[in-house]
Chains A and B, each alone.
Chain A
Amino acid sequence: MTTRVDLVGLTKHFGSVHPVEDFSLAIQPGRVTALLGPSGSGKTTLLKMIAGVLRPTSGDILFDGESVVDLPAPERDAPMVFHNALLFPQLTVEDNVGFGLRMRKTPPAERSGRVAEMLELVGLHDLRTRRPEQLSGGQQQRVALARALVVSPRLLLLDEPLANLDPDLRNEMRELLLSVQRSLGLTMLLVTHDQEDAIVVADHVALIRDGSLVQEGVARDFFERPASAWVAMFFGAGNLIPGERTNNEVVTPLGRLRVIAESPASGPVLVTIRPEAVVLDAVEGQANTFEGTVIAAEFRGNHIRMQLTAGGLNLEATAPVDDAKGHAVGDTVRVALPPDKLWSLPAE
């Protein structure tokens, strides 16, 4: 079952606290949408409103075009999977997975068939008679996933389902989410504060800050075309250069820099470029070049993180680990900022 979900001007106020403010988003059917934001940005409040356990102060939630605001949580078919598996401790794995079907009064024969199917899907069929306390954290999380999937949800809501897992398990669970999504074609909404989770799992990312939508799109957009300096910083852009833009050129302390034509804003702007896009040894004829001095070089495993100073500004760049040139602290380098990697933003 694939359901399109539309959030229309969703708002939630608790007295003077406004965790969600005028939030609109279209969640495409059969796709994974990630709701990404720092902790305390209102993600979980949004999720609980969609699940039906919190009533919006105003705004609407549409499932396939129909409002579900007045539909109580048990009838919404939008189960949540929490970061802690929240299995029912007195029930076996099998009975936990079958819980939703039992609530729907599904005949026992059909129930056990579907439970077995879902346990197979998450690879836990052998553990079906265990109790939750006999399972590892990762196994519990997979049971929780199977328990939500068994009811054939219209929308699967995932609240930081990867947050409590070790890196290995995390990758495994990401893979599982993706394969489940592919085989069942579900509409999923993944809430996370981890940009990597969002990038790896989701087709579409919505970035939320202080209860409002800041930017949405495919993951790459957030890196290359951030909507604001805050978005750029959230995705680790690192470099923000102030300047004054006219047409495609920005006058900055580093000189005149050409930027991507379609980047927004004119007048006072911030120019941003990802550290890995900064060229350290510019060749003759390259655009946007200037001299800089290396002030720090740190080994980071798969790259070297460089700090440069130029025109009174600090810049971040990366160099390969086996860089033959071996830039050392104090060296002068010829820096180029490729115009197709320079994005301008309104100065805030």
Chain B
Amino acid sequence: MALIVATILLPLVPLVIQSFTRGYVFPQLVPAEWSTRAWSIVLATDGGTWKALGWSVAVAATVTALALLVAVPAGRVLGLRTFRGRRVLEFLVLTPLLVPAVAVGIGLDITFIRLGLSGTFWGVVLVHLIPAAPYAVLILAGVFANYNEDLEVQARTLGAGPLNVLRHVTMPAIMPGLIVAGFFAFIVSWSQYVLTLQIGGGKVLTLPVLLVSTASGGDVAITGALTIVYALPVLALLVVTSHHVVRAGLGVTGT
């Protein structure tokens, strides 16, 4: 556990140091001058950080919700049913992960412009679903492969209607998988840069978009501070869900 924490947190240490310096350049081992300048710029209430954080959270949360909405029924069919062409369908679910995102983005950009989705929140959400949904579907297919449908039959014959079956049988059984699938969908959306830039057209300014443009500006202190702002929510989410990620690990290989 300590090792896991170290691997995740250690790379952030230089960033923290970097974010509190002024003019920290290569030959120096220790920063010549400490400063909170970068943080006061990054966290300024009228700065772009909060807006970008808002965009990122809104996009990622919507993507997560929609990915799960698709993944539960799709995962159920893939995990529980045997039918002709199931393997092919499973492969088709995976294909968005095999094709480079840039290629997909360029192709979709033209269509999205025509549909008026280019440069909109929903356009970005839709394009994020392309890489995010397959992860969610595959994880839930694994969860449902280990799910016994007779449990639902049992509940129904004991008097449970469809909503009660969902609430008392299906949801408790798939909850760990749902959390893991949601976590993956969230991270995939959270880390999209190219697709957001292509479809968002500079109007949907999520954190990665802001971060890349800041980094190319060359101010290491501000870049460091912004990177920490970018990484912290995901780390917090990882801490909250880690228990389920470990537990559901076996389920994924069950496909």
Contacts and interface: CB of A to CB of B under 8 A. Distances in A.
Interface of A: 48, 51-53, 72-80, 82, 84, 86, 88-90, 99-100, 103-104, 147-148, 151, 157
A80 B161 CA distance: 15
A73 B168 contact: no
Nearest to A86: B154
Given A90-B172, A99-B168, A103-B164, A79 B150 contact: no
User: 4 shortest A-B CB distances, which residue pairs?
Assistant: A103-B159, A100-B158, A73-B156, A86-B154
A75 B160 CA distance: 9
Contact of B148 (A75, A86, A151): A86
B164 to A, nearest CB: 6
B153 A48 contact: yes
Nearest to A74: B159
Contacts of B157: 51-53, 73-74, 76, 78-80, 157
B165 to A, nearest CB: 9
B155 interface: yes
26 contacts: A72-B156, A74-B158, A74-B159, A74-B160, A75-B159, A79-B157, A79-B158, A80-B153, A82-B154, A84-B148, A86-B148, A86-B150, A88-B155, A88-B168, A99-B160, A99-B168, A100-B158, A100-B159, A103-B159, A103-B160, A103-B161, A104-B159, A147-B158, A148-B158, A151-B158, A151-B159
B174 to A, nearest CB: 12
Nearest to B148: A86
- Classify the secondary structure of A's interface with B: loop
A80 B159 contact: no
Nearest to B153: A53
B238 to A, nearest CB: 25
B156 A88 contact: no
Interface string B136-165: 000000000000101101111111110010
A297 B51 CA distance: 91
A77 B168 CA distance: 19
Contacts of A90: 172
Contacts of A77: 159
B169 interface: yes
Contact of B151 (A86, A103, A104): A86
Nearest to B168: A88
Contacts of B148: 84, 86
B146 to A, nearest CB: 12
Contacts of A86: 148, 150-151, 154
B164 A80 contact: no
A74 B150 contact: no
